[in-house]
Every structure is written in structure tokens, then in C-alpha cells.
Amino acid sequence: MKKTIITIAAIATLAIPAISGAAPAKPGPYASAFLGATMAQDADVNTDVFASPPAFRDRVEFDPGINIGGTGGYDFGYLRVEGELSYKHSEMKAITDRDTGARYRSVDGDLGVFAFMANSFFDLHNDTPITPYFGGGIGVATLYMGETTGVDNSGIRQTLYLKDNDSVFAYQLGAGVDIAINRKISLDLGYRYFGTSRATFDKDWAQSTDLKYESHNMAVGVRFKF
């Protein structure tokens, strides 16, 4: 992930001098693709089991992961409206019992998020090829929980969460800069705060796990006007 972040920074640094004299991209339909990093926030995970004890309350920490996707939309000049497909993936780093403070070691688990969003962004055009923007969107996200295990304090590897998925409401807010290479191609450097309502994983009738997903996302994209 460090290599990915360094690569993104290098691309942006090398691109800016080459496009310093370019004109802003013209209005019209467009498509884009982006790649970057996602930093999933610590999640409070609740698990109900039809046995004793009746419930577990954990806090899950994640490693930085990948954020990839694409958009298609229309630029009206100062307003852009688009549809976005994206995928975010993070490996679980640590799991701590919120009630006892017990920490599971050697955690093996992951969480993937596939989202379809409807976004609107406002472009702050000026006399330079660099256009700041801000906006957000709403949509639907499907969260994919992998089977998750961890080693408890007695040295026994426990199955903590079962493999399952759930589709929930999603939202995002973001800002960035669009850097025009020419009137049809531009470079997009963006940040998004992404969140969902609480997802419930209950594939096994005897166990139900729920969590709310939130993440900070940075990406470099290329936008093409038609």
C-alpha cells in the first residue's frame, strides 16, 4: 500500500508541470476511471449467538486497502451529475472485545465493499487549468464479509465472523481538483468520505453479525470528455 501511495503522488507531481498551460475541459458527457487507497475506520461489530454468552461486542481495525472504480456522467459547466461504480477492499488488522479488552491475535479476515452511487459535484471554474470541486452522492453498497478467525488469549484460533454479504444504503462526501490536460482529457485528484447504514450478516440462523462501514478514500483518476 505504501508503494501505491508513492506511485499516486509521483504521477501527480510529474503531471502538473506538463499541463500548466492547458485549458479547462469543455462541458459535455464524460467517463472516468480511478485508482487509490482506502482507509477503513475502526468498526464496532456486534454478534448475537443463540447460545451462551448471548452476544459479543468487538472493535475491528483495518489495514489500508485498495479503492478502484469508474464513473460516467454529464458536465453542465458548473455542475456535474454522474453514476459511479467502485470497489473497496481492506484486510482486518486487529479485533478487540469491547467489554473485556481481550485482543485477538493473528487475525485472518477481510471486508469488501461494492458500491453504486449517484453523485453531484460543483466545479469552481477559474482562469487556470486547475478546477477545485466539491459534492457528494447517495446509493447502494454491498458489503462482503469474509470468514474471520483470530487467536484468543489461550492460544486457540476461534472463528469470529462467518462469510456473508448484505446490501445497504450508502453515502459519500468529497472534494478534489480537476487538472485539464486538454479540452477532452483531465486528471482528477480526489478525496471521498464514504459511509453506509448498518449491515447485518446472518447467513447462519444461529449467528448474526452487524457493523456500519466508514472510510476515507484518496484516488487519482483520468476523465475523458466526448
Q: Domains of the chain by range and CATH? A: 2-225 (2.40.160.20)
Mean pLDDT of 97-106: 89
Rounded to whole angstroms, the Cα distance separating 149 from 152 reads 10
pTM: 0.83
Residue 114: band (very low, low, confident or very high) from pLDDT cuts 50, 70, 90: very high
Cell numbers at 124, concatenated: 469552481
Backbone angles phi, psi at 19, to 5 degrees: -115, 15
Per-residue pLDDT tens for 139-186? 999 999 999 999 988 888 988 899 999 999 999 999 999 999 998 999
Cell numbers at 25, concatenated: 475541459
pLDDT at residue 187 above 60?
Answer: yes
Q: Which residues contact 200 (CB under 8 A, 6 or more apart)?
A: 166, 208, 209, 210
